[in-house]
Amino acid sequence: MEQLASELVATNRKLLKSMELLTSISNVDTGTTPRDLVYTEDRMRLFHYRPLVDKPCAVPLLINYALVNRPYMMDLQEDRSLVRRLLQHGQDIYMIDWGYPGPGDRYLNLEDYIRGYLNNAVNRIREQSRLDKLNLLGVCQGGTFSVIYAALYPEKVRNLVVMVAPIDFDTSDGLLHIWAKSLNIDNVVDTFGVVPGDFMNFGFLMLRPFSLMLDKYVGMLDNLDNKETAENFVRMEKWIFDSPGQAGETIRQFVNDLYKKNLLIKNQLKIGTRTVDLKRITMPLLNIFAEQDHLVPPSASKPLNDAVSSQDKSILSFRGGHIGIYVSAQSQKQLAPAIAEWLSTRSQLPEKPVSPGARKAGSPKKQAAKKQAE
């Protein structure tokens, strides 16, 4: 009884200290690596990170993150930042922030995002760097977008890197792929217009309810009496629940054409009037996946290497899950150096100045409104 009483007292003290720490944290910083805003269009913003070496890589790298979460996961905090590690290894980095769609964005579709905003961001970097081609790194859904973009505009991509990117959606590994096939996304989009981020987030949490909604909160009690640990926990929770809504027509096409019909890997996906042919991808390709990824299983990522025409193609796996690949200690030590070295050896020769015809198209949002009016 004496030992039990002692343990209860110790546990209560730890709980009280944890509560004091959590309530004392009013805010936590994210995305702290210095950067400059270089281009905006509707809700999309393009940032250029300030180099951390005297002579960065001659070819700039554009990071294209997913629509479904915020891109500051790439730069979560100083000691867990893929962006900072890549800068330290000499990369010249730009990154897209897609922003938070509003009610007026419900008619934006995949063509607007890929042939509109993404293409305009690429052209902006090409003009600024005076190069015809840049390096493109796509993450998760942003990796899918980047693969589609590279197939549509191979003349603008020097090297393609994708991380945990779904390409072959015909897999039963992971509940997300199973649920998406039976989801009536038409009803969801017709009901909401812009699908709320909280609606999407609840679905992601239900993929692993015990580990994501119970285990982690039980486990945190053993460590939350340390201020740094408490701040790290709050920072990650902030990112998890900071979920943008989804433009209705975009997610409608993404679920119907990719998850249900698997058109991308079949070279049958239509983006506007153009058909996406993965055989048009001839540039060097680095395909990175996480071995324990429950959202994008390896079976959805690995087939890309067999679908493209690239002669120089590599595949790289890391232990861990979908998020751990960005922020784990292993990631900080191994992933960024591996990407930087792969890119640097393929970015040595300067390109000729950008062609005069590379200019941005009209605003995708205005084009979408025009199409809707028609």
The catalytic site residues sit at 140
Residues near 62 by beta carbon (within 8 Å), at least 6 away in sequence: 93, 94, 95, 96, 121, 122, 125, 134, 135, 136, 137
Q: At what angle do helices 227-240 and 2-24 cross, to 10 degrees?
A: 60
Question: Distances from the Cα of 53 to the Cαs of 33, 49, 288, in angstroms?
Answer: 14, 12, 25
Burial of 329 per CB tally in 10 Å (0-12, 13-18, 19+): exposed
As a whole number of angstroms, the distance between CA 361 and CA 120 comes to: 7
Task: Provide the token pair at 78.
Answer: 């100083």
As a whole number of angstroms, the distance between CA 94 and CA 57 comes to: 12
Burial of 57 per CB tally in 10 Å (0-12, 13-18, 19+): buried
